[in-house]
Amino acid sequence: MKASFVCSENYHRDNGFTSRKGMMSAHQPLVKALIGLERNRCARILDLGCGNGALLESLTRADPTFVPYGVEHNFSHYRHAQIVLDDYREHFFQGDMFDDSPVWSMGEKFDFVLLMPGRLLERTPLETRFLRKKIMRHAKNLVVYAYGDWLSRFGDIINLASACRLQNIRSLHNSSSVGVAIATTGRFKL
């Protein structure tokens, strides 16, 4: 089931990409950045807005000790993530990242929480405050990333993150198609 889904057109379309090659090359800088960080062995990684889990799948393929988690509001993307990462199907939750989620009760801390910061610009201050607090409490590190459309609107990932009031972030990758940056949550102001 996994193999046939991964070979299907939905594999990249679920995540908003027009080709599989485009999706894979957009994921590569994120995978490289996370693999390159120290302290990543057996890291628990939560992708907020995980789509069908293809990014988490690339990460666990690059380092099989990574433990993936995801929150996704689109039901079919969420179900696909459970197919793609079948061994971790209990780690995926359907729901809006701005609502409370069982994922926050899965343990003390995630080593990395992945977030496309533009999501914070789509919601009310009350909603974003809720998510910010959850991230502060449950993430050791926040990794923010964005793809071409958001980057061309804001220039780069640092400008986008600043527009979302994320501070003390360090760029890990910066190109016109993908931006990645990291904040250690103890050291930034949400």
Closest separation in Å from C-beta 74 to ligand SAM: 4
List of residues 6+ apart from 132 with CB closer than 8 A = 120, 190
Q: Is 177 in the site for ligand SAM (CB under 6 A)?
A: no
Closest separation in Å from C-beta 56 to ligand SAM: 8
CA–CA dist 104, 46 (Å, integer): 10
Q: Is 49 in the site for ligand SAM (CB under 6 A)?
A: yes
Query: Left (φ > 0), alpha (ψ -120 to 50) or beta: where does 10 sit?
Result: alpha
Q: Is 12 in the site for ligand SAM (CB under 6 A)?
A: no
Closest separation in Å from C-beta 167 to ligand SAM: 22
CA–CA dist 163, 38 (Å, integer): 28
Provide the terminal-to-terminal Cα distance of the chain, rounded to the nearest Å. Answer: 41
Q: Is 68 in the site for ligand SAM (CB under 6 A)?
A: no
Which positions touch ligand SAM (CB under 6 A)?
Answer: 15-16, 47, 49-51, 54-55, 71-74, 77, 96-98, 119
